């Protein structure tokens, strides 16, 4: 019996037999492919790709920049209340993921001074160019544009105190990969903020695939590998919820 076992091990080592367990690389690749589902029949405002039962929305194109900057936005979304609820402080490094033309980045630039900065990440170069001009016109010097990709933010590991996504997460083509990347960019104890239109409320006048329930946000963000724990949900905005997670602090040495 013992001899048979040794022989089997030898065969597997020599590549003469296939081990039962797939290699961890192929197992990882398989689970990444299984993560998303494509459906033929779907909402016309979505891309037909589903993640954890939710259809992913189309990315807002550069043509939508003027809508982001509309003069009625403060009245409709109360952005100043949102920024106040973040409790930013001088010296903070903040990432505005899906910054668009920079409306939110610019609002966060002042509260992190002196010493702090806003890293404005977007996948569309036209948005980042517009954001740069917007900052120049206003004399804002602590906003740094970063060109990200569909799967990577371009942020350095453990470099950010707070990352925020305002009306963005629901349109990530690869939400799992983006959350993995963003959670790695947070410092231990750093915060990740989702601002999404409330799907729980049918009176919120936004297309269905552009809304998310708080339960859906939590289900997607609280996967153990991200190391994120729900901290609080702030209910100060008329149309959106502000769902905040915290990156687990590093374990204390010796524990
Ligand atoms: C609806 S706009 C919101 C812009 C901004 N947050 C605001 O509220 O004014 C969504 C933005 O997210 C960007 N976006 C989509 N997927 C992205 C990704 N994977 N990484 C970074 N930005 C992304 C889009 O290019 C677009 O500019």
Provide the pLDDT for residue 249.
Answer: 86
Provide the pLDDT for residue 19.
Answer: 40
Provide the pLDDT for residue 27.
Answer: 53
How many CB atoms sit inside 10 A of residue 86's CB? Answer: 19
Q: Is residue 186 part of a domain?
A: yes
DSSP string, 31-58: HHHHTEEE-SS--TTEEEEEETTEEEEP
Q: Is 106 in the pocket of ligand 1 (CB under 6 A)?
A: no
Q: Is residue 2 part of a domain?
A: no
Q: Is 209 in the pocket of ligand 1 (CB under 6 A)?
A: no
Q: Evaluate the omega torsion of the peptide bond into residue 114 and state whether it is cis, within 30 degrees of 0.
A: yes
Q: How far apart are CA 32 and CA 25, in angstroms?
A: 11
- Helix boundaries (H) for 78-124: 79-85, 103-109
Ligand 1 atom closest to residue 124's alpha carbon, by position in its atom list: 25
Tally of domains within the chain: 1
Q: Is residue 253 part of a domain?
A: no
- pLDDT < 70 stretches in the chain: 1-30, 251-255
Q: Is residue 40 part of a domain?
A: no
Cα(93) to centroid of ligand 1, in Å?
A: 19
Supply the residue whose CA is at minimum distance from atom 10 of ligand 1: 168
Q: Is residue 31 part of a domain?
A: no
Q: Is 195 in the pocket of ligand 1 (CB under 6 A)?
A: no
Q: Is residue 157 part of a domain?
A: yes
Provide the pLDDT for residue 15.
Answer: 36
Q: Is 59 in the pocket of ligand 1 (CB under 6 A)?
A: yes
Q: How far apart are CA 154 and CA 182, in angstroms?
A: 9
Provide the pLDDT for residue 30.
Answer: 54
Supply the residue whose CA is at minimum distance from atom 23 of ligand 1: 98
- Give tens-digit pLDDT for 113-141: 999 999 999 999 999 999 999 999 999 99
How many CB atoms sit inside 10 A of residue 144's CB? Answer: 15
Cα(23) to centroid of ligand 1, in Å?
A: 36
**Average pLDDT score, the chain:** 90
Q: Is residue 215 part of a domain?
A: yes
CATH number where 83 lies: 3.40.50.150
Query: Residue 215: which domain range?
Result: 64-247
The reply to whether the predicted model has a pTM over 0.85 is yes
Q: Which of 46, 57, 59, 154 to mutate to test the pocket of ligand 1 (most atoms within 8 A of CB)?
A: 59
Q: Is residue 38 part of a domain?
A: no
Provide the pLDDT for residue 209.
Answer: 97
Supply the residue whose CA is at minimum distance from atom 14 of ligand 1: 98
Q: Which of 70, 134, 148, 168 to mutate to test the pocket of ligand 1 (most atoms within 8 A of CB)?
A: 168
| CB-count exposure of residue 101 (10 Å: 0-12, 13-18, 19+) | buried
């Amino acid at each position: 019996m013992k001899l048979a076992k040794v022989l089997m091990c030898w065969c597997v080592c020599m590549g003469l037999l296939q081990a039962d367990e797939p290699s961890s690389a192929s197992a990882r690749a398989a689970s990444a492919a299984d993560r998303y589902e494509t459906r033929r029949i779907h909402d016309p405002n979505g891309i037909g790709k589903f993640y954890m039962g939710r259809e992913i929305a189309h990315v807002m194109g550069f043509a939508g920049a003027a809508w982001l900057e509309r003069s009625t936005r403060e009245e409709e979304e109360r952005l100043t209340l949102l920024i106040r609820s973040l409790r930013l402080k001088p010296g903070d490094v903040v990432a505005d993921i899906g910054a668009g033309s920079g409306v939110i980045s610019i609002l966060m630039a002042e509260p992190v001074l002196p010493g702090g900065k806003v890293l404005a990440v977007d996948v569309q170069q036209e948005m980042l160019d517009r954001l740069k001009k917007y900052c120049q016109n206003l004399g804002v010097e602590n906003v740094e544009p970063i060109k990200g990709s569909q799967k990577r933010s371009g942020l350095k590991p453990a470099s950010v105190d707070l990352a925020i996504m305002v009306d963005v997460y629901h349109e990530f083509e690869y939400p799992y990969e983006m959350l993995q990347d963003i959670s790695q960019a947070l410092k231990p104890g750093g915060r990740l903020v989702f601002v999404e239109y409330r799907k729980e409320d049918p009176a919120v006048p936004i297309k269905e695939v552009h809304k998310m329930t708080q339960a859906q946000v939590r289900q997607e963000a609280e996967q153990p590998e991200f190391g994120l724990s729900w901290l609080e949900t702030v209910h100060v905005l008329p149309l959106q919820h502000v769902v905040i997670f915290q990156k687990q602090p590093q374990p204390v040495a010796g524990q």
